[in-house]
Structure 1
């Protein structure tokens, strides 16, 4: 599986050339042009044309280039995949698949992309990220995580999942009736475990209160603590907090290097900085160093 940096995934309506151009020059690790919820039905085909043109025209630097297509049950999904890949496949890294309920939904897209890559002679495999935003998907998330070799990440889609689960107050609780704790803890933990068990990234979903940077950061920290490696940004102001939270600090990198060095110099378990260092500990700290290296390569 291709390893990509996904600390921040910036959502951009595919119908706005101004916003797409701004996103292509942003600090987001991944930018996805949204053909689904951000575009009205009457504008779907026009937005698709704009997305294709700007994927080909703009300098995207080292950002991951993605498109969120319409869901498999919609009348636009088929043409989204065929048109975007046929005309801009060489400048596309990832497709984001919404409203997934079962493996068959993923296989629909997988079959199309398999055929297109072969027909067009594309040499770089296009990856998938799937949105877990339906009750059916959350109930089968472990199965979904292993259903396609194209999968690179699972994303927790709060808005639609809140509706599908019947959350009384939607994604953000009424402060007067706040749930005692994080109502998304179970979904987050289950998605992270499913993703990790299949070598996938776990991405936390959007935070709708654009002006509440502290709230966004708090949610990102909670997700990161559970093992998520990135979060959606629905506004450029959310990019920096995401990049910051999902990057190891200098202190974390220093400690990780020290711990790994202590283990390498020992025949078995060792003690360093008052803590036990063994193979399991090194595995944890080794992941920190791997992530730091990926970030360094991205920011050169």
Structure 2
């Protein structure tokens, strides 16, 4: 392997690239399912994130106890890889501040991120981040990254400002709440695998969220597929989200969805082979322009192929040993 500059050094300015997150964000809120998901992650490795749910997972009247349970699981030996986050209640919910305080005070060092749902504006996102940061300062805990859901009219209207906030790491599309917010104007079919990729209002939302995320080097995360027993539907949705809509991450709500999403977001063997050939030749040329198979390449295309290899590594695709060692620091 040529000892020239690493692709990150040669192709990007400092702070130019988004944080690389696992391509699956797996949601669970019931204790048995949370424990099962943690056990699965411990076995598979950090190829998917887990979001323990304090919003929909908490029974009404049991919010305090549920937040304590989530903190306990964050601190447990099952959190082996440090890729477990939590979703709190919305900013205007009575349990928001209690959720944040409990999680930060009891398990702040273990949080991979906090997910804030249902903001109605960029100001609400900023207020939520301010409270999270103040809570971290009060308890002497490092600030976790903040993720947020775009699922209201106001959040979609101000999605560029939300994506620009320095504390935001990822934007997720909340399909079901977004469709419901249209008061029946989007039909039930808009929630299905076919409808969510065809209805113009839903398509517009997906594209604007992905564009805003990429504009500000944040991670766009695609919504759930509720037909969790339909493997073909999940495969179609994940493939379209990754290949057509520009999403680099996707929600899972059932363990059986995790591997198919990873597979759909992973580059093909042919794509990986081409990227390796081009980047090795580019590095040998000290990142000057090259010709490869009758095509010219320079740093613009090198960046594309480097992102592709990063995604291959993040989805545990086979890479040549010399590439893994020199560029990813793994054997």
Stretches of structure 1 that go unaligned for 5 or more consecutive residues are none
Q: Does 1:216 align with 2:200?
A: no
Counterpart CA distance in 2 for 1:253 and 1:30 is: 24
Query: CA RMSD, aligned part only?
Result: 2.6
Other-structure match for 1:157: 174
Other-structure match for 1:10: 26
Give the alignment's TM-score, normalised by structure 2: 0.81
Do the aligned partners of residues 150 and 230 (structure 1) sit closer, same or farther apart at CA in structure 2, a change above 3 Å counting? same
How far off its partner does 1:9 sit?
0.8
Render the CA deviation track for 1:3-40: whole Å, top value 9, x for unaligned: 34321111111xx3211111112246110111112333
Counterpart CA distance in 2 for 1:217 and 1:282 is: 29
Counterpart CA distance in 2 for 1:180 and 1:100 is: 24
Other-structure match for 1:181: 198
Render the CA deviation track for 1:27-54: whole Å, top value 9, x for unaligned: 4611011111233322322211211111
The number of equivalent residue pairs is: 294
Other-structure match for 1:205: 223
Stretches of structure 2 that go unaligned for 5 or more consecutive residues are 1-14, 317-327
How far off its partner does 1:179 sit?
8.5
Counterpart CA distance in 2 for 1:252 and 1:267 is: 20
Counterpart CA distance in 2 for 1:21 and 1:57 is: 10
Match of 1:279 among 272, 277, 299: 299
SS state at 1:118 partner:
helix
Match of 1:243 among 262, 279, 294: 262
Counterpart CA distance in 2 for 1:182 and 1:62 is: 39
Counterpart CA distance in 2 for 1:192 and 1:214 is: 24
On the 8 A contact 1:141/1:191 being kept in 2, the answer is yes
How far off its partner does 1:220 sit?
0.9
Give the alignment's TM-score, normalised by structure 1: 0.88
Render the CA deviation track for 1:250-298: whole Å, top value 9, x for unaligned: 3222111212234442885443234332222111111112333444579
Do the aligned partners of residues 46 and 195 (structure 1) sit closer, same or farther apart at CA in structure 2, a change above 3 Å counting? same
Do the aligned partners of residues 95 and 298 (structure 1) sit closer, same or farther apart at CA in structure 2, a change above 3 Å counting? farther
Do the aligned partners of residues 76 and 273 (structure 1) sit closer, same or farther apart at CA in structure 2, a change above 3 Å counting? same
